[in-house]
Structure 1
């Protein structure tokens, strides 16, 4: 998820902390209804409207404002929400979803099949310019709608008020899993077009929470419980989200937790051992081996990383174990594959040969084959204010020491970093991380590595999540074959072969570390506080003590 992590792009390599807009705190801040407000901090999102919610910060808000067909359990299984059932035909190119009756948006509009068609059409429309609409590109008629040739989504029909039929352009026996992404949210009529700024800043949803006023950009977003929610109602009456300065000191979110300003905190890398020692014994330290990966994004169409040999040279030059032990103090493990261990049906260790162990001789051998010479400059981009500086500098030094390259560090705030990655002509390597939005290998392989995941506009800007612009027709064909394979075991084998091609043979990305996540949570005031599948606090399930 941008994700993603999109599956979504995520701000932090492990975890992220930024400077608060106000220091200090108040343990007893009231929600105005006699209860405490649950407080946390994020950076400025790209969007909180599902039409374009794309990174970890925006999707946190969108998922609490809207409820779709499915959610995802921590173990990666689907959790039905508004889907009473989801059934494919024998070929796998048509799905029928029966929708829970008699739920509504917070303005009273009904949530039915037409509401889902409205929401999906809105996101896919050309005028929305959505960076996450590509998750729908398997639905028949997506291309015509997304390019402006049509204003209708031909693959979507309502076969009754609460029956949604989805015709796909090609078979996909895992399509139901994709609908757990927030872009598949239903929409009320009042939403209008995707570029409706009034709605973008104050979305009216059908989720466990609703907006309290509008998004105050670079300041705050406040949520209150939706008492008309059609499923299990939230126990918190209010959530206060501070929007923090991404360029400030990366330890102030942690300090905000210590001072009582926040009830949930992410931490900069150097503070992890200290925080664990202080809070683990108090039950306020949370750990999750999440469905994600930290990696280096490689711009494969530009000169520096155009050849697989150049990309392998950089990968072999990195000593992941040393950085995991030194910078991360043993709290992270090296990754040798793109797909995470939590995806037990497809995960295989050591898929990436160049990731298993630093090999200086091979690094130099591949550099020679690629024409990389000592003294050449390698651009290395990363997002600032998120605790990445230590490991980025360590990787840069290893590459310089082994290959003799001059590594130029280019740090930008997260929002600007994402925009820079989209530009045609961006060169070198970039810090990246991906966290799953739905539990399938396709959620990693397709967005990050398929040709369709580039989704360039007329200017060449990459609107999809394949920012490195890797393209291999054989890889694309393997993804198509996997989707149309009904047997789960056979499908998993095809995905494994596709990962091997892209990550080992072509070195399209460089895996670095698994995504073990750590958080601090105020369990003295709240019960049931956990990280969910998306690495976010499970706001709808938290209850005051």
Structure 2
């Protein structure tokens, strides 16, 4: 998941909860998730975000949109804050011995807020809606392993052949290749069920006021660049939320983080980020009051190089950029020591696969090596490198530091351009994109596959006929060796065997400098603990709205 807000926080190390059933057994899960049930009901929780790309599950993709969609919809499984995978609407799952057929039993009796039943057909309807070629979904690739996905994407079919409902509350999924982690992927909002009222993916009325089955529902519609209002869904089929309402203001993308901070200080918001220069003062003021969150996360920050076009096409040029950056100086000077240097693509919370200092060019700035590699990689002095970033999220200071270092060390000219997040994403996608982009990622679901496949697999480039990239591999990195390693990992039933393959794939990508690691994500937030109880971040590093209660 791309992070518009850089809002990545997980309470503890991620646990990859792969049940033994993934190797051909079954499990029975009668429990469900949701609020603790112990808090007081009522209250309005207020916060600010920048304009989402989408709040309809067919294309919800970055932290802003996922925040809304995740609270409007409930799927088969969901991740807990610490990265375990627990059942939501799935009461059982069973995988075939070859990892190619999954059978899910769905909880009976739950409904969408318009009264339609949430059954197997609701899931099939939602998944096919996403996969349609006409949907042009940026997140449809999460379904790429389902049999018939290629045909529906090519416009040759209206439905994936791998989806069926043997009875109203049984969903069977046949995959084109083995995937012993498939059920984990269903925690993504793209796998949400939808009612018949959803229509196709470009039903504007539904896009702006989705009818879901989650703990909250829309009040009115999405007022673009103004607000989104959620209210408690009192007919929710699992544990009901405590909050009466969530008021989400959509802030100016150019100074959103500043407005959040000012709003918290004035009492307007109950949750906020801070401008980077204000971090020390904010910590000194709010940490003693118990209103400060500082946590290492599952998120990672990179520079995204466009690898098929322009000055970053040569791997040596990308390596030169990495060696030219003094990460330690930026962390000390810009972030006041509140970040840690990244030397990997996968985050440290994936302890079983973490390979510290795998990125040797990330460990320490080496100006001589950077200059040598620039020459060998065709990166000549005076070359212009585009550097794009999203405004309003506190990136300006470190972007300027990187720009200065690249110019000083490599003799290039760096043209840094800040745009609202949606525009930045569109720039990354466009045919002929070039240069470098500010890029961040946090797991949509708790497995290393969710970094390696979306960001770096050839299948995740997903170009349309114009050359526009509609998948998350915005750098257009393509390696048959890398793809084969990821595919082999998916087809490996043994967790230790999968981990070994993940490590090999990550090394291959870093040998090619497919992504340029910068720093691990430590997230800092202000929260109103005077008024609200049980506030923490969920797995997607947004506030756990369904569990927050009044004090």
TM-score category, normalised to shorter length = over 0.9
Q: 1:338 is matched with which residue: 328, 337, 345?
A: 345
CA contact (8 A) 2:257 2:275 kept: yes
Q: Does 1:214 align with 2:214?
A: no
Match among 473, 478, 484 for residue 491 of structure 2: 484
Deviations 1:98-130 (A, max 9, x none): 111111111111111111111101111112111
SS, match of residue 203 in structure 1: coil
Structure 1 residues 15-62: Cα deviation after superposition (integer angstroms, max 9, x where no partner): 9xxxxxxxxxxxxxxxxx994310001111111000111111011000
Q: Which moved more, 1:475-484 or 1:403-412?
A: 403-412
The residue aligned with 1:519 is 525
Mapped to 2, the partners of 1:404 and 1:70 lie a distance apart of 51
Instruction: Give the Cα–Cα distance (whole angstroms) in 1 for the partners of residues 56 and 44 of structure 2.
Output: 23
SS in 2 for 1:292: strand
2:514 corresponds in structure 1 to 508
1:470-525 C-alpha deviation (Å, 9 max, x unpaired): 1001101111100000000010010110000002x100010101011111111100
CA distance in 2, matches of 1:254, 1:66: 29
> Is residue 13–residue 432 contact of structure 1 (8 Å, CA) maintained in 2?
no
* Aligned equivalent of 2:464: 457
1:137 aligns with 2:118: no
Task: Check conservation: 1:10, 1:435, Cα contact below 8 A.
Answer: no
**How does 1:350-365 map onto structure 2 within 5 Å?**
350-365=357-372
Question: Is contact 2:4-2:393 (8 Å) kept?
Answer: no
Shift of 1:147: 1.8
- Cα-to-partner distance string for 1:247-282 (whole Å, 9 max, x where unaligned): 236422101001011011111211111111111111
1:28-43 → structure 2 map (5 Å cutoff): 35-43=42-50
SS at match of 1:371: coil
1:374 is matched with: 381
| Gap regions ≥5 residues in structure 2 | 10-39
Contact 2:7 2:63 in 1 (8 A): no
8 Å contact 1:13–1:294 — kept in the other structure?
no
Once the two structures are superposed, residues 109-158 of structure 1 have per-residue CA deviations (whole angstroms, 9 ceiling, x without a partner) of 11111111111011111121111111000000011112211011110011
Deviation at 1:11, TM superposition (A): 3.5
2:504 is the counterpart of 1:497? yes
Aligned residue for 2:167, secondary structure, equals: coil
Of 44, 55, 67, which aligns to 1:60?
67
Residue of structure 2 in register with 1:430 after alignment: 437
Deviations 1:186-240 (A, max 9, x none): 0111111111000111101000000001111111110000001011100001100
Separation (CA, whole Å) in 1 of partners of 2:260 and 2:112? 33
SS in 1 for 2:310: coil
Which among 531, 534, 538 is matched to residue 537 of structure 2? 531
- How big is the shift at 1:392? 0.3
In structure 2, C-alpha distance between the alignment counterparts of 1:444 and 1:481, rounded to whole Å = 16
Is this contact kept in 1: 2:113–2:211, CA < 8 A?
Answer: yes
- Which residue among 90, 95, 101 is the counterpart of 1:88? 95
State the Cα RMSD in Å.
1.4
Structure 2: how far apart are the matches of 1:101 and 1:276? 47
TM-score w.r.t. length of structure 1: 0.94
Q: Tell whether the 8 Å contact from 2:119 to 2:169 is kept in structure 1 after alignment.
A: yes
Residue 303 of structure 1 and its aligned partner are, at CA, apart by: 2.3
Query: Counterpart in 2 of 1:541?
Result: 547
Residue 122 (1) aligns with residue 129 (2): yes
SS at match of 1:419: helix
- Look up the match of 2:479: 472
The alpha-carbon distance between structure 1 residues 14 and 157, as it changes in their structure 2 partners (threshold 3 A), is closer
Task: Single out whichever of 264-273 and 50-59 deviates more from structure 2.
Answer: 264-273
Q: Relative to structure 2, which stretch is displaced further, 102-111 or 308-317? A: 102-111
SS in 1 for 2:370: helix
Question: Which residue in the other structure is 2:420 paired with?
Answer: 413
CA distance in 2, matches of 1:207, 1:34: 17
d(CA) in 2 for partners of 1:342, 1:105: 36
Q: What is the Cα deviation at residue 345 of structure 1?
A: 2.2
SS at match of 2:288: helix
1:73 touches 1:79 (CA, 8 Å); kept in 2? Answer: yes
Q: How far apart are residue 405 of structure 1 and its match?
A: 1.0
Distance of 1:442 and 1:433 partners within structure 2: 16
Q: Contact 1:315–1:510 at 8 Å: present in 2 too?
A: yes
Counterpart in 2 of 1:10? 4
Aligned equivalents of 1:371, 1:224: Cα separation in 2: 56
SS of the residue aligned with 2:311? coil
Shift of the 345–83 alpha-carbon distance from structure 1 to 2, 3 Å rule, reads: farther
Distance 2:45 2:125 in 1: 33
Consecutive unaligned residues of structure 1, counting only runs of 5 or more, are 4-8, 16-32
Cα distance in 1 between the residues matched to 2:243 and 2:330: 40
| 1:76 and 2:79 matched | no
Distance in 1 between residues matched to 2:41 and 2:457, nearest whole Å: 51
In structure 1, what is the equivalent of residue 450 of structure 2?
Answer: 443
After TM superposition, which residue ranges in structure 1, 4 or more long, deviate above 4 angstroms? Answer: none
State the SS of the aligned residue for 1:165: strand
Q: Deviations over 1:315-334 (max 9, x none)?
A: 00011111111100011001
Matched with 2:182 is 175
CA distance in 1 between partners of 2:131 and 2:140 (Å): 5
Task: Please state if 1:193 is matched with 2:187.
Answer: no
Instruction: State the distance in 2 between where 1:10 and 1:181 align.
Output: 17
Aligned counterparts of 1:344 and 1:147: Cα–Cα separation in 2 = 39
Secondary structure of the residue that 1:281 maps to in structure 2? coil
* Alignment match, 2:321: 314
Q: Equivalents in 2 of 1:189, 1:261: separation in Å?
A: 38
Q: Structure 1 residue 408: deviation in Å?
A: 1.0
Q: In structure 2, the residue corresponding to 1:282 is in which secondary structure?
A: coil
Q: Deviations over 1:52-75 (max 9, x none)?
A: 111110110000000001111122
CA separation in 2, counterparts of 1:349 and 1:444?
16
